[in-house]
């Protein structure tokens, strides 16, 4: 067994949530170890689309909207800082989001008025001006001009590089068991040995319930598979984010175009399926016929950490002092990541929290 090495704080899981949490804690001067069972940033945080807004934001509980709003304000500064310190560009950009579902108009307009968010109803002519290659019968679209995106695989790479000088990162080391004694967390046992720590933060995404079950109580988090396909178009052919009937189109700066995503209950099975590929292809080429002349470059699946109403669990684990959870971000872990990490760090370090924490506890009602 490897020698136990003490750390103030052990963060388990190196997705966007674990990386951002480790970054917040290390910036406050804590001695942090991050342990990840494969490489950092290769699971849901790699597979996601990087849209920096909940889809149809008016459908979400205030608990999610509050995290998203805080993070949306933080993202430009965070990405600029990451680019400057690491040389890796997370490609933050304000792409604007066009929503084509006519039945959403009334709710959207009420939400925009209440939240004071810019929202415009575009006529057919204005839609064509903004997105000349879009083919649709829809006569009016919603336009959310301030919605941004990041290129999530680059974001996690930049986060890893930014924290590497300050955080002890241990990859390919699965945590098998959480260690607790007399109501106090002691660390974790990995396949390599024991890591002693005064505080442990569980950021294991879709795997969180399995890891915490041994302590008796577990959050209601389950894997929800999402598949995406990727085309390689020319830069600028598709200009904005488009959303229609729960499926979306994301153009990257280099011309790559992502279409996603499915919502499937398939346990921890991360295989892709021919049916999903066909469906996504049909939707993509229906909205943007130019994609018929563009080869599919990739097709993948990821496991979202699904939670009731998509409200993440952020805060202390009841009955075990020093143990914390930051998981269950479902479809919004990228857009809510910065606020979730800051809130968790505030709670663990005893600072004034950026948001009221009661909505995110293990016991909070989630509808
Ligand atoms: C297809 C798809 C599209 C999406 N689109 C968007 C979007 O546009 N915008 C948005 O905001 N969100 C989106 N999401 C959701 C977002 O990707 C997730 O909410 C977010 O990535 C969750 O981050 P995480 O760090 O909790 O999980 P993960 O990225 O899955 O990270 C958890 C990490 O924990 C590690 N781990 C697990 N168990 C252990 C263990 N026992 N020991 C050590 N390590 C362990 C895993 O290996 C993994 O690296 C999308 C997700 C999918 C799948």
Structure token pair of residue 68: 């998203």
What does the pLDDT look like over 269-289, one tens digit per residue? 999 999 999 999 999 999 999
* pLDDT bucket at 307, cuts 50 / 70 / 90: very high
CB-ligand 1 contact for 280 (6 Å cutoff):
no
Its pTM surpasses 0.75: yes
> Which of 365, 351, 367, 358 has the alpha carbon at shortest distance from 314?
358
Q: Are strands 247-251 and 175-181 parallel, antiparallel or unpaired?
A: unpaired
Instruction: Note the pLDDT of residue 42.
Output: 98
Structure token pair of residue 241: 């984010």
Instruction: Note the pLDDT of residue 7.
Output: 63
Question: Which domains, ranges and CATH numbers included, belong to the chain?
Answer: 2-49+155-220+309-360 (3.50.50.60), 97-146+222-306 (3.30.9.10)
Instruction: Note the pLDDT of residue 305.
Output: 98
| Dist CA 250 CA 241 (whole Å) | 5
- The answer to whether the CB of 59 falls within 8 A of the CB of 106 is no
What does the pLDDT look like over 76-106, one tens digit per residue? 999 999 999 999 999 999 999 999 999 999 9
| Dist CA 314 CA 24 (whole Å) | 14
Atom of ligand 1 nearest to the CA of 173: 43
CB-ligand 1 contact for 11 (6 Å cutoff):
no
H helix intervals, 213-353: 274-287, 333-349
What does the pLDDT look like over 194-233, one tens digit per residue? 999 999 999 999 999 999 999 999 999 999 999 999 999 9
**How far does residue 214's CA lie from ligand 1's centre (Å)?**
22
CB-ligand 1 contact for 328 (6 Å cutoff):
no
What does the pLDDT look like over 136-167, one tens digit per residue? 999 999 999 999 999 999 999 999 999 999 99
**How far does residue 103's CA lie from ligand 1's centre (Å)?**
31
Atom of ligand 1 nearest to the CA of 303: 53
Atom of ligand 1 nearest to the CA of 211: 41
**How far does residue 186's CA lie from ligand 1's centre (Å)?**
26
What does the pLDDT look like over 43-68, one tens digit per residue? 999 999 999 999 999 999 999 999 99
* pLDDT bucket at 367, cuts 50 / 70 / 90: confident
CB-ligand 1 contact for 327 (6 Å cutoff):
yes
| Dist CA 164 CA 187 (whole Å) | 21
Mean pLDDT of the chain: 96
> Which of 44, 92, 53, 95 has the alpha carbon at shortest distance from 251?
95
Terminal-to-terminal C-alpha distance of the chain: 45
Average pLDDT over residues 18-40: 97
**How far does residue 130's CA lie from ligand 1's centre (Å)?**
32
Atom of ligand 1 nearest to the CA of 228: 1
């Amino acid at each position: 067994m490897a020698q136990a090495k003490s750390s103030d704080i052990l963060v388990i899981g190196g997705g966007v949530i674990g990386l951002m949490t480790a970054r917040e804690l290390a910036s406050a001067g804590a001695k942090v170890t991050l342990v990840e069972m494969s490489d950092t940033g290769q699971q849901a945080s790699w597979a996601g689309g990087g849209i920096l807004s909940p889809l149809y934001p008016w459908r979400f509980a205030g608990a999610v909207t509050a995290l998203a709003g805080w993070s949306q304000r933080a993202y430009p500064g965070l990405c600029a800082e990451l680019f400057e310190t690491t040389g890796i560009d997370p490609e933050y950009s304000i792409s604007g989001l066009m929503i084509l579902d006519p039945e959403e108009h009334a709710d959207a307009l009420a939400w925009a008025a209440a939240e004071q968010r810019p929202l415009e109803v575009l006529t057919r002519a204005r839609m064509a001006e903004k997105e000349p290659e879009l083919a649709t019968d829809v006569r009016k679209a919603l336009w959310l001009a301030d919605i941004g995106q990041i290129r999530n695989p680059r974001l996690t790479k930049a986060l890893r590089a930014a924290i590497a000088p300050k955080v002890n990162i241990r990859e390919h080391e699965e945590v098998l068991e959480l260690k607790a004694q007399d109501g106090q967390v002691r660390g974790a046992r990995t396949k390599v040995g024991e890591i002693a720590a005064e505080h442990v933060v569980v950021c294991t995404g879709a795997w969180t319930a399995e890891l915490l079950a041994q302590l008796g109580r577990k959050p209601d988090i389950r894997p929800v598979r999402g598949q995406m396909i990727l085309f390689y178009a020319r830069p600028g052919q598709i200009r904005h984010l488009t959303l229609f009937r729960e499926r979306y189109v994301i153009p990257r700066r280099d011309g790559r175009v992502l279409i996603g995503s499915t919502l499937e209950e398939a346990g921890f099975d991360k295989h892709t399926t021919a049916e999903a590929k066909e469906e996504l292809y049909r939707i993509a080429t229906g909205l943007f016929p130019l994609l018929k002349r563009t080869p599919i470059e990739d097709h993948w699946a990821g496991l979202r950490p699904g939670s009731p109403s998509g409200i993440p669990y952020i805060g202390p684990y009841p009955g075990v002092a020093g143990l914390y959870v930051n998981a269950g971000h479902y479809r919004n872990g990228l857009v809510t990541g910065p606020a979730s990490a800051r809130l968790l760090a505030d709670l663990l370090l005893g600072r004034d929290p950026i948001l009221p924490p009661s909505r995110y506890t293990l016991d909070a009602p989630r509808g």
